[in-house]
Structure 1
Amino acid sequence: MNVTNEAIDFMKAALTEEETKAVRICTETGCCGPTLGLVVAAPEATDDVKDFDGLTFAVAKDAETMAENVTLDVESTEDGASLVLRGLQQTC
């Protein structure tokens, strides 16, 4: 899992009011099978934990393979900015 500087800045701004400064990447059920999801949550004991400029990013064990070549980035559109997972293999 890679994280761009833009994504770190975006997450810092988004988490200013949150008690925890951690993001957990885990698997979620998608329409065509498992996919990656991001939640604001403390890491679990079995997670792979990394610190990026004061933010904690934890990858759940069952999501490690799927997140291996993924980059968390920010995408700007006319509707505003949002986080995107670049390189995530589509399941449909």
Structure 2
Amino acid sequence: MTIAHHSAPDPGHGSYQRVVNVSWPLRDENGPHARNIPDQPTHPRIEARLVFETDGETVVTGVAVRKHGRHICVNVHDPRLQVGYVWLDQNDVQFT
């Protein structure tokens, strides 16, 4: 799989944005979640495709910290994220 790098508008505007391609691994009567999924013993480097609600698609680097089925929790740094962890479908993550 190849993830193309796209230019995104400058994220320095100070607003958090929703990631629209979030892919939670579990769901129950309270909604989507990732409770009780342990960290992986190693955290491989990744490139992740994030699609922000306002700014659109961008690719960021980080590490994969959890996996459940086809869902991967990545730790990435982007000023548009309120927290540095995002669950994504495996198609949006490339191991480097």
Q: Specify the TM-score bucket, using the shorter chain as the normaliser.
A: under 0.3
Between structures 1 and 2, the one with greater strand share: 1
TM score, norm. by length of structure 1: 0.26
TM score, norm. by length of structure 2: 0.25
